[in-house]
Every structure is written in structure tokens, then in C-alpha cells.
Structure 1
Amino acid sequence: MKSSHILLLLSLASTGAAAFELGAPKNNNTDNLVWTGHLSPDTDSVTSALIAAHIYGGTAVVPEGINPESQFVLDYCQIAAPKPLNDFSQKAVGLVDFNQKTQLHPTIDESSIVAIVDHHAIGGAPVNMTQVTPIDIRAWGSAATILADRAESLDIDLPAHLACTTLAGILSDTVVFQSSTTTEYDRYYAKELAKEAGIVDLKAFGQKMLEAKSDLSHISAAEILTMDYKNFSYGGKKVGIGVAETLTAQQLLDRRNEFVAAMISYKETQKLDHLFFAVIDTKNKRANLLWIDDIDAAIAAKAFTGQPKQGWLVLDGVTSRKRQIGPAIQGAIEGKK
């Protein structure tokens, strides 16, 4: 498939060292190279690190522990989990699935970043590099899709277990093609990867992933709050947005008091200006939004039109933090809404 996309190469300032090349892996120095996603890694972040390491060399790592869905995927695809890395100093670092300082492991020096492959907007507080750094950002449904395209364009074969995990990254971030962020490229590469992985029914595989993600009954509210969580900088304010995608939304909605207590504690300890949490009902395609104080209530009132129910704001048709929840909150905080 010939993709029509814009490859954004940001050459900020030359340091004299050879720049990393996303289009010519053999030219790169991979000594001490690691590939990592954002804090609170999700399945797209984990699987993108794996395929990036396969294409470009280096080692896939995670900055924190992985979630139940990601563990299910790794077990299903029969591949070892990337090792957690607590200290990124002395490492050359490739970033996948994010570009924000607020989501960067605190030990990563921005001068050590050699490449970024992402599908999110460059807004808020992007990493600030003084070295020549290739950045491939496309408005596709997942970073895994972009890297699958990279592998195809470079004529790099993926073993079945990596085809499997890369497929999972696409299915996870597009919510099995239900998300508004889904593109024709996501659908195309999902089908191709399913063939390579020997997965006959990719939607059935995606359903199993959703079920693995949905079983949160044994996990505390504090853990769920930060399991799929990102910090943003909007209008100079530190904003946290956590989401939990689930087929069994009512189980989480019934735990509202637990989430309120967890959010009060987290907002104070992290010194956040704003904090929101959404239970994404993937079965009924809607978000249930929660906040804990009048300041955030005012932001939510500007950002959304929804129906309150049992202490949650119900947002029909809202399923994406990247495309819907985050931009709406950003617009409200920055006075653009």
C-alpha cells in the first residue's frame, strides 16, 4: 500500500554528530539505544517499542509497569515483555507514541533523544531538542500503524510474534476500529499483520483484548486512575487526564466514591491544576467524565455538553482522549471554546 503522508523532519540545530535516519536503519549507531513509550504505558506504546527495536536495532523498554491488556497481548503473542528501565542516563533514546515532556520519564535527557515516531499533535509542552532529530508524526490511529508502514517501506519482515503484537497495538488504540481516530491505513495494516501472525479473526482477537482490559475488579481505584493516564500542559496549567476503556462500564461507575478519593489524593500530591478521569464505555460508545472540585467543574462545563447521571457526566459518542476529550479540555482552559 502506497501511503500518502507528510513526514515531519525537524532539524533544530546541528551538533556535528550524524543524525539518526528513520529511512536508512543501517546507517545508524545503535550503541546504548533504547526505544520507549510514555509514562503509564498502554498497549500501543509497548508494542511500538518492540517493533521499533526490530526495525532500527536497540532494545525495547518500558518506563513503568505494563497494564493487564498489554500483558494479555504479550502472553497471547508469545513474546517476553520489554524490561522496565528506571534510569535512562547514558542511553540514546527513541520515543514512540508520544512527544510531550509531561509524559517523559524524568531521567531522559532531551539531548539524548535520537528519533520520535508518534501519532499525536505537537501541542502543549513538546520535548525540546537541540540536536538534529527525525520526527515522524502522522494522523493515524496508532504509532504501531506508522511503524508497520516503516517496516513495509524498508522491506523488513516481521516474525509472527511481532506481527501479532503490532496488530494488537493498532487494535488497542483504535478500539478495534471503533475510535474516531481510525484511518484506512490502520485497517489495511491490521489485515496484513493478521495474515503474518496467523490470526484468522482479527476482530475476535480484538474482542479478547477488550475483555482483558475490562476486568479491573481486582485493581484499586488509585491504580486504575493512572493505568492509562497522561499529563498535559494547557495554557501553562498542569492537567492530568486518566481514562479506563471497558466493556463493563457500570462496574467502574459504581465505584465513583473510590475514584473521587483517589483523585483528591492524586491531584494534591502531583500538584495538578486540573484533573479529569473518564470511564470509556466501549460497548455503548460513550465517555463518563468525573472531576472533584468546582474549578474543574467550570472547565468541564465549558468543554462539554452532556447529561449528568449518578455523579458522572455522560458524553455520548465520545471515546477518544486524543481526538475528543483532551482537545475539548485544552480549548476550555485556553479560552478557545
Structure 2
Amino acid sequence: MKLSPLVAAILVSVSSTSYAFDLQQPANNSTDNLVWTGHLSPDTDTVVSAMLAAHIYGGTATVPEKINPESEFVLNYCNAEAPRIESNYADFQVGLVDFNQVTQLAPTIDQGSIVAVIDHHAIGGSPINTPQLVAMDIRGWGSAATILADNAEKLDVTLPKHLACAGLGAILSDTVVFQSSTTTDYDHHYAEKLAAIAGISDIEDFGQQMLIAKSDLSHLSADTILTMDYKNFEYGGKKVGIGVAETLTAQQLIDRKEDLLAAMKAHKQANELDHLFFSITDTKDKKANLLWVDNNDFTVIKAAFNTDVEGDMLTLEGVTSRKRQIGPAIQSAIESL
């Protein structure tokens, strides 16, 4: 088919102009003013994925808030420096890792400045909404770090020992040492590759040390525990908060249930949430112990898990994942009520 001169000129212009960040050919990108960041209440996958993305694509790794004890353990174990805490993203181009929801976005990030998203979560609730084209790499793998390890390999980018070690820690964290229902063959595959680069011969031992590091929360306030691994969502037009504490010593937190419930009530009121839930996730016996604030939340819990509830805590055997098990059930219940 013969094209008119005008159409031909437009096609040439489009093909020769880069309108979006290029995840396949990093050399095409300008990264002088680029930062990478993950979600609020940063976990290990968010922290390390920002570091991996900055190494692979250029730019600077950041976190929007202080990192948690598990992340500190992983970075110390790997002799890796933590990303800087960035309080104001207003002057940067931003790449997002490990999330795509506006409810989890640092408040100073202008959505018009977002250039890329690398994530492993569903696009639902209240995802980012940008006026510009955004490069996206979203896969249903166990961690964002797994995706970035794959990208590094395909782009022939060598990961230094400390980053490979941290990447392994991120995979182990998000998959709960391969015990979460979110774990895929890709996570096992890249965990082994990263372990080989890092010189770690016993992946399971590293994972168990991480679980121990994140389990002792006795020195932390109930407010801190509630928000340490916490995410806001928008389900059916409702503002919903879901916090999680993954621990080998679940009874330690169950014994503090009254303090946690008081913290939840205050947090719900202060943040004008419609619903708030908290899971004491027992990584030893593979079960979730769910707490809620009031009767409205209780109605959602009953509908979400289709079970009779006795007392002020619901124990769910075999449930360990907010992303795959708890969040979707709560979302379905809210949207159906």
C-alpha cells in the first residue's frame, strides 16, 4: 500500500522519537534526573527492587520512608548501603517498583512525572493514572526483584555480589522463603542464580535468619507494628487499610491483641478509613490471625471468608499472603456488599 507523503512523514516522526522510557534498551533513556522508589511502608522487595532498577537502568534508588528491621538485616548481611530516604519527589522523574496503586504512592510524587512501573501486583482498586505513556513490566511472579533479576540477565547487566545477595533476600522475603502461594518457578530459578553470584550456599539458612530478624517485634509499639508492613487500597469506592506482621512468634503479638486493636481504632479514625484489617501471619504454622476494628469490618470479614467467627480474631489455616489470599477476598466481599 502506498502512503501519502503526510502519513509517511508522521510515521517516520513517530518511529524516530522516543515517547516513553525504554525498558528494553536502557541506553535510549536520559536518567540524570531519575529516581526509583517503591511503596509507602517499604518492605524488603520494595527497597531492593529500587536498588536493582537503578543499577540496571540508571538513576538513583530511594525509599519514601524508613526501612523496616528485616530490610536492615538483609542490607547489613549483604554489605549493601540502604537507598536514601527521599522526602520530596517533586523535582524528579520517577520509576515505580513493587506497586502500581495511588493509595501507596508517596504524596509528593506527581503522576505526570512517572516514567516506568515494574511490579508484580494486580492492577485494581486505584491504579496510577498518568497523562503520558509509561513503560510497564508487570508479571505475576513472587517478587519484583525476580522480574528485575530476569531483566538484568536479558540485558546482560552484571549484578555485583552485594546486589545479588540483596536481590535474593527480596525474593525470600516476598515469597516467605518459598512458602507463600505467590511463589513461582521463576522465583526459585533466580534465587538460585543470585545465590551463586553472591556466594551463598545455603538459601534456606539465609531465609530462616531473615524470618528470625523480622519476628521479634517486642521492642516496637503497636502503632509501629500496625504500619510496618501496611498498604492502603480502594475497593468498591471504599478506603481500606490492610496491615500484616509476618512472624515466627505469632503468640507474642496475639498476647498484645488489645494494644493492637486500640492502635487500629486510632489509625482508622485518623486516616478516615472505611475499613481496616490486620493479620498476624504465623510463618511457622502457616496461618493468618485476622483482627478488625468494628462491626462494619466484621461484616466484611464474615463475607470475605464465608465462615462463622467467634471472638475478636479469625484464624485462617494455610493463609499467608495478603496479595493472593487476604486482599482479594476482602475486595470481593466489599464489592458485593
TM-score class, shorter = over 0.9
Aligned to 1:186: 187
Which string of whole-angstrom CA distances, capped at 9 and with x for unpartnered residues, describes residues 260-296 of structure 1?
A: 1101110000000000000000000000000010000
The residue correspondences of 1:249-288 to structure 2 (distance < 5 A) are 249-288=250-289
Q: Residue type of the partner of 1:264?
A: K
Aligned to 1:7: none
Deviant stretches of 4+, over 2 Å: 305-311
Answer whether contact 1:40 1:226 (CA < 8 A) is retained.
Answer: yes
Which string of whole-angstrom CA distances, capped at 9 and with x for unpartnered residues, describes residues 187-231 of structure 1?
A: 000000000000010110000000001010100110000000000
Aligned to 2:131: 130
Q: Residue type of the partner of 1:327?
A: P
Aligned to 1:72: 73
Which string of whole-angstrom CA distances, capped at 9 and with x for unpartnered residues, describes residues 241-273 of structure 1?
A: 000000000000000000011011100000000
Answer whether contact 1:306 1:315 (CA < 8 A) is retained.
Answer: no
The residue correspondences of 1:93-108 to structure 2 (distance < 5 A) are 93-108=94-109
The residue correspondences of 1:214-293 to structure 2 (distance < 5 A) are 214-293=215-294
Match of 2:336, SS state, is coil
Q: Residue type of the partner of 2:178?
A: F
Which string of whole-angstrom CA distances, capped at 9 and with x for unpartnered residues, describes residues 105-129 of structure 1?
A: 0000001000000000000000001
Match of 2:123, SS state, is coil
Aligned to 2:298: 297
Once the two structures are TM-superposed, the CA of residue 145 in structure 1 deviates from its matched residue by 0.2
Count of aligned residue pairs for this structure pair: 321
Answer whether contact 1:306 1:316 (CA < 8 A) is retained.
Answer: no
Q: Whose RCO is larger (CA < 8 A, sep 6+)?
A: 1
**TM-score when scaled to structure 1?**
0.94
Q: Residue type of the partner of 1:42?
A: D
| Comparing 242-251 and 299-308, the one that deviates more | 299-308
- Corresponding position: 1:63 with 2:81: no
Answer whether contact 1:69 1:209 (CA < 8 A) is retained.
Answer: yes
Once the two structures are TM-superposed, the CA of residue 132 in structure 1 deviates from its matched residue by 1.2
* Sequence identity percentage: 66
Provide structure 1 residue ranges, at least 5 long, that are not aligned to the other structure: 1-15
Aligned to 2:53: 52
Match of 1:141, SS state, is coil
Answer whether contact 2:268 2:276 (CA < 8 A) is retained.
Answer: yes
For the residues of structure 1 that align with 2:133 and 2:98, how far apart are their CA atoms? 19
Q: Residue type of the partner of 1:288?
A: N
Aligned to 1:32: 33
Match of 1:334, SS state, is helix
- After superposition, the Cα gap between the structure-2 partners of 1:64 and 1:317, relative to the gap in structure 1 and judged at 3 Å, is same
For the residues of structure 2 that align with 1:334 and 1:98, how far apart are their CA atoms? 22
* Superposition CA RMSD, Å: 1.2
Answer whether contact 1:96 1:143 (CA < 8 A) is retained.
Answer: yes
| Comparing 178-187 and 300-309, the one that deviates more | 300-309
Once the two structures are TM-superposed, the CA of residue 311 in structure 1 deviates from its matched residue by 3.0
Q: Residue type of the partner of 1:302?
A: A
Answer whether contact 1:308 1:314 (CA < 8 A) is retained.
Answer: no
Answer whether contact 1:306 1:313 (CA < 8 A) is retained.
Answer: no
Once the two structures are TM-superposed, the CA of residue 57 in structure 1 deviates from its matched residue by 0.5
Provide structure 2 residue ranges, at least 5 long, that are not aligned to the other structure: 1-16
Aligned to 1:335: 336
Once the two structures are TM-superposed, the CA of residue 31 in structure 1 deviates from its matched residue by 1.6
Answer whether contact 1:36 1:60 (CA < 8 A) is retained.
Answer: yes
* Structure with larger Rg: 2
For the residues of structure 2 that align with 1:164 and 1:292, how far apart are their CA atoms? 39
Match of 1:132, SS state, is coil
**TM-score when scaled to structure 2?**
0.94
